[in-house]
Amino acid sequence: MRLFNFTVSNCSNCNKCVRECPVKAIRFVNNEAQIDEDKCIACGHCFKVCPRHARNMANDIDTVKNKINSGTKTIACLDSAYLGIFKEPGKFITGLRKLGFDSIQEIAVASERAEELYIKYINENAGRQKYFITSTCPAIYIFIKKYHPQLEKYLLPVAPPMILLGRAVKAEEKNSHTVYIGPCLSKKYETFPKNDDTVMNSHITLVEIMRIMRSSGIDINTLEPTYPDRAAGKSGENYSIAGDIWQVIREAVCNNGYDYARVQGIENVKLLFESMENNTLEKCFVGISACIESCINGPFIPKNTNGLYCRRQKIKAFAEHGWGTRGKQIDWDKIDSSFEFRANPVKINKASEKEITEILRKMGKKSKADEYNCGGCGYDTCRKKAQAVYEGMDTYETCWQYMKQKAKIQRDVIFLNSVDILFLLDKNLNVIKLNPVGLRKLGFNEFEIVGKYVTELGIDDKICKEALNIKRDYINIKIYIEKQKLTVLANFVYIDGGEIFVSMRDITDEEKQKKEISKLRMHTVYTAQNVIEKQMRVAQEIASVLGETTAETKVVLNRLKEIVMKEEDE
């Protein structure tokens, strides 16, 4: 089962997802974008930028509904990003209760525990390792596991907050059904597919939970606010803001002689990791998030909500006072906080220089000057594009230069070999180009006709002017060219930019044939009419003769009858 992909029917092949994907995990098959999950780091950026909303993701909505309806204790584990989204977060909490969740707990509670464990680990390992990388963002440690396995040793071996809270809930309620609710895709990827050791059973995005509420007739604006059953303090609530939770552990970092850094966005993370791998970065603790401004800018933030920086401001303001109550707290000493990061590097089959050169040549890039590196295909350089073609991730057709050259070749083949008269007019209706058939049939050579006004071809300019002025096409217009004695069926096509493309099919022979057939028909009708008239005259003459003969016969018979009757009387 695939976790996520694009909806083929909606994909318009705009390559925006490829341009956005930091690891180029988008594969094109039959001109359709597909996510290669082996390469994907589940940052969700491709879903976020898709202009056609061609995203398709396996969801747990029915599973969660069934668990609630079956009476299974169902616990919502909330990402603290919700605090910046809703005007009154307490009403959202009440909405979750109305949906049937038995308990609502903030993942930020576990982030506070992660802070403590980070501090403890840094104090114990300062001087033993050069870098410390936080483990709160799944997309980041998936990125490390797949593309930077040599940095895996710097990941703090502490379970991410979502996993920590899941373990704590399962320790209290073994048979409960835990549901992550938040804006993140990578947290879904992190726990997929499910297995017997899963501590987070389902994943529902904030977009999905709002859809469920609407379909259930729940308007959170009309509800009375309530508190979460388990809430975090100031530091925990801030973990969804850029920089993760590094602010709380700054003292431990500085006291141990380390620098600290906040890094947001995969492109910036790439630069950071490059410095780490080159060993040029000094000792440092880094709080990293794949999304700019962290979880509050995740791929599944509901539309028509507060702006990004409003969300940030709102969370920070809320964290100053919190809920006023934290609910039942967790005995973390009884909860396993360890986490093992297992490297799973992506295997990349590198093309040789010869193979790259050959692919570039096939794309029409025969020299460095032909390598535009425009990024239109989604890759930064033409060489990276060629590597993607070599790996089977991309095709030649997504290169605009290649398609332009291909179209030009096809256009030239059609133009040169067409049996129709083809020519192109500029915005002043002067001839730009006339194909060989046109030159022959209209009686010109290319040098004498190019640049001449359209009427030089023996064609009235009225239709051309109309096509140019109102920017529309005229199709199947019959025209007679007096000089060449040609009858043509013409199409006048307006081209953006002010040019007119004209195609004319010679129907002179067809018209002559039509005239001959018309003459034959008229002759046949005339002949038939003469025959009919002659037949009518003959019939009338016969009828006349027959009429006179019958009358004479009748007179003779009546006379004979009278004689016979007279003889009988005698």
Neighbouring C-alpha atoms within 13 Å toward the C-beta of 43: 30
Residues 329 and 471 in one domain: no
Selection from 344, 393, 347 nearest residue 142 by Cα? 344
Task: Based on the fold, state whether residues 456 and 375 are members of the same structural domain.
Answer: no
Q: Are residues 388 and 479 in the same domain?
A: no
Please give the pLDDT value at position 563. Answer: 57
Strands (E), 237-308: 259-264, 284-289
Predicted TM-score (pTM) of the model is 0.73
**In-domain check, residue 452:** yes
Name the nearest CA neighbour of 504 among 467, 466, 478: 478
**Residues 495, 383 share a domain:** no
Asked whether residue 12 is assigned to any structural domain, the reply reads no
Q: Which two tokens stand for residue 451?
A: 């640049």
| Euclidean distance between CA atoms 185 and 298, whole angstroms | 8
Q: Do 78 and 134 fall within a single domain?
A: yes
Per-residue pLDDT, 131: 96
**189 and 277 fall within a common domain:** yes
Q: Report phi then psi at 385, rounded to 5.
A: -60, -45
**Residues 273-298: tens digit of each pLDDT:** 999 999 999 999 998 899 988 889 99
C-alpha torsion angle, residues 188, 194, 195, 196 (rounded to 10): 90
- 519: in domain: no
Q: What is the structure's pLDDT at 232?
A: 85
Q: Is residue 410 part of a domain?
A: no
Count of CB atoms situated within 10 Å of the CB of 67: 20
Which mean pLDDT values do the consecutive 10-residue runs of the chain (570 residues) have? 68 83 88 86 87 78 94 95 92 97 94 92 94 91 94 94 94 94 87 71 94 95 95 67 64 91 91 95 92 90 88 85 84 93 90 94 88 88 93 87 73 80 92 90 87 91 90 90 90 88 90 79 71 72 64 56 54
Same domain, 362 and 393: yes
Are 498 and 468 contacting, i.e. CB atoms less than 8 angstroms apart?
A: yes
User: Is 25 inside any structural domain?
Assistant: no
**Would residue 468 count as lying in a domain?**
yes
372 and 440 housed in the same domain: no
Domain CATH number, residue 447 = 3.30.450.20
* Alpha-carbon distance values, 356 to 362, 378, 399 (Å): 10, 17, 15
Strand order in the sheet with 74-78: 103-106, 74-78, 177-182, 202-205
Last residue of a domain, one of 506, 533, 562: 506
Regarding whether 301 and 379 lie in a shared domain, the answer is no
Residue for token pair 């609502």: 104
Q: Among residues 316, 335, 109, which one has the least CA distance to residue 230?
A: 109
Domain span at residue 119? 59-334
One domain, residues 326 and 439: no
3-state DSSP assignment of residue 410: helix
Nearest residue to 29 (alpha-carbon basis) of 5, 59, 56: 5
Domain termination site, one of 274, 304, 334 = 334
User: 3-state DSSP call for residue 421?
Assistant: strand
Q: Do 358 and 325 have their domain in common?
A: no
In a domain? residue 547? no
Do 450 and 324 belong to one domain?
A: no
Q: How many domains does the chain have?
A: 3
Is 284 part of a structural domain of the chain? yes
How far apart (Å, rounded) are the C-alpha atoms in residues 335 and 242? 27
